[in-house]
Each structure stands twice: as structure tokens, then as C-alpha cells.
Amino acid sequence: MHSLFWKIFLTLWLSIVGFSAAIGWLNDKLARQQWAEEPANTFSRGLVRISQRAQQALLSEGRTGLRNELLTIPRMTRSHIYIVDADGRELLRRDNALQQLTERRTPMDTTEFEDAGGDAFTIYTVSRSPPSTILAPGPEGTALRLGAAALISALISFFLARSLATPLEELRRASRRIASGELGTRVGRSMPSRKDEIGQLAADFDVMATRLQAMHEANRRLLSDVSHELRSPLARLNVALEIARQKGAGRIESEVDRIALESQRLEALVNDVLGLLRESSDSAAGKDEEMDLSEVLGDLVEVVNYEAAEGTPGIRWTSPGASPFRGDRELIWRATENLLRNALRHTDPQKGVELDLKTNRRKTRVTVSVRDYGPGVPEAELNKIFEPFYRVQESRDRDSGGHGLGLSIAANAVQRHGGRIEAANAGDGGLIVSLSLPLTADA
């Protein structure tokens, strides 16, 4: 018996039936014990009184009066008393019933008396046997109650077992479909009204399936995008090599420079892809260390401004003072660095980039904002810029050295810290990207 349905059904049903049978047996035993311990049999005394009334009716009214007296007795009680005349005939013509009692040697008490005319009569009284409540007919019988209990408990056990086993079977089938590659499988639609633990399990299963599907599609898209990104510089490398072969030695300086440039771009792309995979990996445990976030950002601004073009404002930053933070310093550094370098590529060189650090009033969250003065991003595409290899203007990003991975790396680093990243267009032009990081576990 490997089916969960049958395990639940039989366990419940047999438990209920067994409990009912035990109660019935105990009830029968107690009833028999009570009968045995009763000092005077009330039923037997009743039969004696009936016999006395029958004799009085016979003496006062004759055979007809005796018959009428017997007919006034309840039928169940009447079956325990028989009156036979001198010819051996039962007064109510129940000779066959009396004969069966005699053949079964049923214990009977006899009383003989005569009517006014001297005719002899014999009264046979059958004492009631000890009660057998298990086999007794009628509503008072335990056998009937046991049968009803078995039937009702079977129905209840069936529906309860089915309500538990059916959704679990649906989950099993869904998990097999997902394992076979059907990542769009969901189970919540088949049990929308369940609010119990099984319904919650189905909802969690759907969340898991959705994340698996999203991860699978993201990996496929990433592989496709990487292949596309590698194809272009490799094609340009091949063209440069072919031109160099045609020119011959001594006239290939420009082609060599081109090959070097494309090689650098390939190296940068590979590094960015590896960085994205590293940030996306849940198995990579980040360091947990105390740091001054303001100091980290100050050091980063110094490094990036050192590489900025001369005569430009670069990154404008004013430290707000000590800002304690606990997390992975390297992840925070890389996330903010990608935002700053991305902003520098797109901002107006004469206006530079603004970096801001603020803590909310309750001291539960800290927000790092990077604002550029570039063309901004169309509103419909604001949520897409954090996807790998996504570009608003593809040709411009390639020319500026970007591969569309910087914001993705930043987003993954922020998510690893339990934070969120958002982008919004500034009212007077440019893009503002904000990193919101929790300072406490419940922030």
C-alpha cells in the first residue's frame, strides 16, 4: 500500500470503526453485567402481574374476556406469554410459536388455573434473556449503529483523504513536468480556494517555478547575448588580420592598433561576464564586515576621478560624515563603481556626475544616489536597463566601451545585501540611479 490516499483513508476509517466497535462491546458487556446484578427482574415481575390479570379476566368474563385482556398487552411483551386450554390449543392461535419455544427448550414458567366452569388452563411465561445490544434489532441495537458509523466514517475518510492526497498528487505531477523541461507549469490555478498549508505549499511551488523559469530564460538570453557580443569584435579582428596580410610587412600599424583595441574589448567583455556570473551566484558567500560607507565612497570617487578626463568636473561628492554599514565592502565598491563609470560615459562632460549619500530618519536604511546629466532613459525602458546586455542606444554604448553589464552587476550586488536599485529621470535632464541598502535586519 504505497498510495498516500489509501494510507490516509484506511488509517482514518479503521480507527473510527475500531473505536466504535470497542465502545459497542463495552456497552454490551456493561448491559449484561447490569442485568446479572439486578436483584429482582422487573420484566419477570411484570409477567406475573399480567398472568394474574389474565386469571381474573378468565374468571369474570370467560374465554372472550381473557382473549381481550391478552390483546391489550403490547405485542413485544405478548410474545413472552402463552395461554393453553385443556385441549392443548393456544388461546391466540400461536401454537407454532409455542412449539418452537418448546423444541428449543426455552426456559418457561407454568401456572395452571381453572375458569368458573372448571375448565383447566395453563399459562406459559418466557423470561426475557439477557440483553444482546450488539445484535439487538432496532435503533437501540449497537450493530445498526456500528454499521451506520462504518458507512458515515468511510464517506468522511474518503473525502478527507482525497482532499489531502489529490493536491499532493498534482504537485508531484507538476514537479515531474518541470523536471522534464515544462517550466511554465503551475499548480495554483488547480486549487485557488485552498488557504491552508497545502494551498501555501502550492503558492510557494508556483513562486519557485516562476523563478526557475526566469533564471532559465535569463541564462538563455545571457548565452545568446554573449555569443552576439563576441561575434562582432571577432569579425573585426578577422577583417583587420586580412587587411594586414594584404598590405604586407611595414604598413600594418593601424591594423595592429585595431587588433589590440578589439582584444582589449574582448578582455573587458569576458571580465564583465565573469563579474556578472560571480555577483549572480547564490553560492558565493559575501563577506560581512563593518565599514564606514562614506569612507568607501570617498576612496572610490578619488580612484574614478583620477581616470577622468582633465578639465571636466568628474564626480562631485561631499561626505556627510561617518556612515556605519555592515556588509561586503568589495560588492559595494563594485556596484557603486559600475554606476559611476556608467554615469560618466553618458553625462555632459562639462556638468559631470553627482554622488550623494543619505540615511533615513529612523536610521534603518541608507541610500546612495548617482546622478548624471545625460539624455536620460525613456520611461518605458527604465526597468529594463538592469538586464544583462540591455542598451538604450546600442551603437553609442559600443562606441563608449560599454557592454550593458554594469547596471546588471550593480543590481545583483545590491540584491545580495537585501537592498533595491531604482532608476528615474531627473526633471531637468539626466538619470538618477539609487541604491537603497538596509542598516538593520528588519529594514
In the listed set 258, 284, 310, which residue is the last one of a domain according to the structure?
Answer: 284
By C-alpha distance, which of 90, 97, 44 is closest to 70? 90
> What is the rounded CA–CA span in Å between residue 99 and residue 111?
18
257 and 390 fall within a common domain? no
Residue 120 lies in a domain: no
- In the residue annotation, 216 being an active-site residue is answered as no
Three-state DSSP state, 113: strand
Range of the domain at 229: 183-284
- State the cell numbers at 197: 498549508
In the listed set 220, 250, 284, which residue is the last one of a domain according to the structure?
Answer: 284
419 and 328 fall within a common domain? yes
Q: How many domains does the chain have?
A: 2
In the listed set 236, 253, 284, which residue is the last one of a domain according to the structure?
Answer: 284
197 and 217 fall within a common domain? yes
Q: What pLDDT does residue 31 have?
A: 61
Q: What pLDDT does residue 357 have?
A: 93
Would you say 187 and 171 are in contact if contact means Cβ atoms under 8 Å apart? Answer: yes
Residues 316-336 as b/e (b if ≥16 CB within 10 A, e otherwise) read: ebeeeeebebebbeebbbbbb
Measure CA 339 to chain center: 39
Q: At what angle do helices 142-179 and 197-247 cross, to 10 degrees?
A: 10
Beta carbons within 10 angstroms of residue 125's beta carbon: 19
Residue 116 lies in a domain: no
Would you say 315 and 304 are in contact if contact means Cβ atoms under 8 Å apart? Answer: yes
Per annotation, catalytic residue among 228, 346, 403, 417: 228
Residue 197 lies in a domain: yes
Residue 9 lies in a domain: no
219 and 208 fall within a common domain? yes
Residue 134 lies in a domain: no
User: End-to-end alpha-carbon separation of the chain, Å?
Assistant: 50
> What is the rounded CA–CA span in Å between residue 331 and residue 83?
109
292 and 400 fall within a common domain? yes
Q: What pLDDT does residue 392 have?
A: 67
Burial class of residue 209 (count of CB atoms within 10 Å of its CB; 0-12, 13-18, 19+):
buried
267 and 316 fall within a common domain? no
Residue 195 lies in a domain: yes
Q: For residue 227, what is the domain's CATH number?
A: 1.10.287
Q: For residue 321, what is the domain's CATH number?
A: 3.30.565.10
pTM, two decimal places: 0.46
Residue 252 lies in a domain: yes
Q: Contacts by 36-45 with C-beta closer than 8 Å and gap 24+?
A: 36/130, 41/127, 41/128, 43/80, 43/127, 43/128, 44/125, 44/127, 44/128
By C-alpha distance, which of 180, 152, 130 is closest to 30? 130
Q: Please, what is the Cα angle at 172 between 166 and 173, to 5 degrees?
A: 90
> What is the rounded CA–CA span in Å between residue 94 and residue 98?
6
307 and 431 fall within a common domain? yes
237 and 353 fall within a common domain? no
Residue 168 lies in a domain: no
Q: What pLDDT does residue 169 have?
A: 83
Report, as ranges of residue numbers, the positions in the chain whose pLDDT lies below 50: 38-40, 130-140, 282-285, 394-399, 401
Q: What pLDDT does residue 334 have?
A: 83
280 and 227 fall within a common domain? yes
What residues contact residue 274 under an 8 Å CB cut-off, 6+ apart? none
192 and 317 fall within a common domain? no
278 and 292 fall within a common domain? no
306 and 387 fall within a common domain? yes
What residues contact residue 439 under an 8 Å CB cut-off, 6+ apart? 324, 325, 326, 359, 363, 364, 365, 366
